[in-house]
Chains A and B, each alone.
Chain A
Amino acid sequence: MKKSLVILSVLLLVSVFSSFALAKGFTIAMLVKNVGNPFFEACARGGQEAADALGNTFIFQGPPTPTVEGQIEIIENFIAQRVNAICVSANDFDALVPVLKKAMANGIKVISFDSAVNPEGRIVHVNQADAEQIGKLQVQAIAEMIGYEGEIAILSAAATMTNQNTWIRYMQEELKDPKYAKMRLAAIVYGDDLRDKSYNEAMGLFKSYPDLKGIISPTTVGVSATAKAITDAGLIGKVKLTGLGLPSEMAEWVKNGACEAFFLWNPVDLGYLATYVAGLLCEGTITGKEGETFTAGRLGEYTIRKSQDGGTEVLLGPPFRFDASNIDEWKDVF
């Protein structure tokens, strides 16, 4: 009796979550680095909006932890479900290429957004902002906050993440400018986009570099964890912080002074643009070639341009600065 009950409940688990979206238009799947990340939840909202605008069905998925192995499993499931397009924010620039090639061989339109995949494994990339601009902007901001003098550190996501590594390269380039001669990049540490690990890495920085003046954290998880670490360690005003963050998570830390200003593009718009581009590719309105122009719904006109990695890309726009003057109007948006 008990045994059959247990078996029954196990089987039930398989069928618990169900709601089948009826197919209308094209099915566009968005695959993000990991679920439970507010940035990607905001992307999903924009994606849903764009899919609705074009009469498409929208699926949102991601592995519980940011690994390529998890993303490969999900892409295999997308292929089995015969989705029409996949928009992926890749956990690794190269490792998804074989499985994405398989998807494209099955007639699926593959684009990357946020974090690019190798041009071999995609049709076009939707870039949130120019990497050079993002890297340099953050160095300029932290330099201003600490008065162009002292040790700074970078607290990044995982050591393998394409985005962060490119930005950090541009940060290092910007730091070579003579006006930063009195500043020194003391360390680059990795919080793997996990809150507890990022927090501990920040605490570790305070210990290892007692004269630390500023931290740049170019990842939403890292920057809010660092702000909390600065607050908890009683270092508000002593260690300055900037980076890329979500207004809803950062509002508290802007108000208590742990972070004067941070940057980000609008993830709702990013998800919207990616899903819109995927929809247009399915319709055949665009093919992803350099020089094509199109209108992306409420966002307006875009042109496909050559990207630095040898493929093509669509650029969303310049990053946006959030500080005490505007945080209140944005903190409820995303």
Chain B
Amino acid sequence: MELESLRVQRAKSLSFRWEWLLLVLILGAFFVNVRLSPYFWNYRSFMDALSVFLEAGFMVFSMVMILVAGDIDISVASIAALSSVLMALSHKAGLPMGLAMLVALGVGVACGYFNGFLISRVPNLSAIIVTLAGFSLYRGIAYVLLGDRAVSGFPSWYSYLAWGYIGNTGIPFMLAAFFACALVYGLVLHRTAFGRKVFAIGTNRTAALFSGVPVARIRQILFTLNGLMAGVTAIFLTSKLGSSRPNVATGYELEVIAIAVLGGASPSGGKGSIFGACLAFILMRLLRYGMGLRNIPGQVMMVAIGVVLIGVVMIPNLVMSRKKRTVVS
């Protein structure tokens, strides 16, 4: 009993330390970059740099929840591509842009619901298998619909979503939307009964089930939410590109999962935080922006990011093993 409470305490202090660690890394990366490049600290460029790739950031929140519940979803980027293509096609067919954006969200919800339905209602179907199928299926449909063509011709106001600023504050609209989303997801995951149930499912699914947690329904909701966020990504990404093609958002699923994990979410469930994911996103951006300003070749950047990921994720293990040693001796 005592041992158990000790373990819980240690886990708590660790997750507390995790976000501090990310903060320290962010500050470190910031100051190193400021010293290295005269262009790094320029308010406008800095804000712009944070919103590069931000469209994918919207999927990170729902992905954190899915990881916390002990599942995974690798079909999100494909859902985003299909949403983008169907939104573009429906606008081209004469639908007003506002409604076309609802189409994008609807497609996301439908794909996510389908994933969630199979995963939570069909026995013995794991999330990785279903979403791996979805990974091919949804992008495949996008290719069938559009082939190698691109669709463009959106109204000019639509480009505001990805390129506009709030008044003359220099804050990109997308960045504000990102943090608003973070707030909502943070409250839902960390401050509501629903969020606690998500953690319960990820910690021990069977125990949660026998404690009366509606496991199937909650997993269903989580995957549907992830689809919805893929639709949000599609809206912002299409605005950023000014056109749509079936190959948009290629590889985004891995980046999204990487950021969620770097933010402290555990792929084995029961751990994760929205705040941590935000910090991880900022850290990743700072590293990439800093290296970009130094014109470091893309391949080298990939290696560096990989090393950072492994290094940071390994830190708690190193700390833990040191602690254990001190306890023993």
Q: A6 near B: Cβ within 8 Å?
A: yes
A94 engages B25 (CB within 8 Å): no
Contacts of B36 in A (CB 8 A): 14-15, 18
The minimal Cβ–Cβ distance linking A209 to chain B, given in whole angstroms, is 21
Q: A73 near B: Cβ within 8 Å?
A: yes
Contacts of A165 in B (CB 8 A): 148
Number of residue pairs A-B, CB distance < 8 angstroms: 140
Contacts of A82 in B (CB 8 A): 39
9 example contacts (A-B, Cβ-Cβ < 8 A) are as follows A10-B312, A11-B29, A14-B290, A74-B292, A77-B289, A93-B150, A95-B248, A98-B242, A159-B147
Binds A, one of B5-13, B273-281, B296-304: B296-304
A95 engages B311 (CB within 8 Å): no
A98 engages B240 (CB within 8 Å): yes
Contacts of A72 in B (CB 8 A): 52, 240-241
The minimal Cβ–Cβ distance linking B21 to chain A, given in whole angstroms, is 8
B48 engages A18 (CB within 8 Å): no
Contacts of B315 in A (CB 8 A): 3, 6-7
A7 engages B28 (CB within 8 Å): yes
Pick the most buried of A6, A59, A158: most chain B CB atoms within 10 A of its CB.
A6
The minimal Cβ–Cβ distance linking B155 to chain A, given in whole angstroms, is 14
Q: A22 near B: Cβ within 8 Å?
A: no
Q: Which partner residue on chain B sits nearest A94 by CB separation? A: B243
Q: Which of A7, A17, A18, A68 contacts B25 (CB 8 A)?
A: A7
With A14-B290, A73-B292 as known contacts, state yes or no: A102 contacts B163, CB within 8 Å: yes
CA distance A268 to B42 in the complex (A): 36
With A67-B250, A80-B48, A94-B243 as known contacts, state yes or no: A15 contacts B148, CB within 8 Å: no
Interface residues of A in 1-15 (CB under 8 A from B): 2-3, 6-7, 9-11, 13-15
Contacts of B159 in A (CB 8 A): 98
The minimal Cβ–Cβ distance linking A241 to chain B, given in whole angstroms, is 23
Q: A308 near B: Cβ within 8 Å?
A: no
Q: B222 near A: Cβ within 8 Å?
A: no
Q: Which of A3, A67, A73, A94 contacts B52 (CB 8 A)?
A: A73
Q: Which of A13, A36, A79, A97 contacts B304 (CB 8 A)?
A: A13
With A7-B25, A13-B304, A97-B242 as known contacts, state yes or no: A80 contacts B251, CB within 8 Å: no
Chain A positions 89 through 111: 1 when the CB is less than 8 Å from some CB of chain B, otherwise 0? 00011110111001000000000
Q: Which of B28, B42, B295, B312 contacts A59 (CB 8 A)?
A: B295
Interface residues of A in 116-167 (CB under 8 A from B): 158-160, 165
B52 engages A79 (CB within 8 Å): no
Interface residues of A in 73-90 (CB under 8 A from B): 73-74, 76-77, 79-82
Q: Which partner residue on chain A sits nearest B285 by CB separation? A: A73
Q: Which of B28, B148, B299 contacts A64 (CB 8 A)?
A: B299
B298 engages A14 (CB within 8 Å): no
Q: A61 near B: Cβ within 8 Å?
A: yes
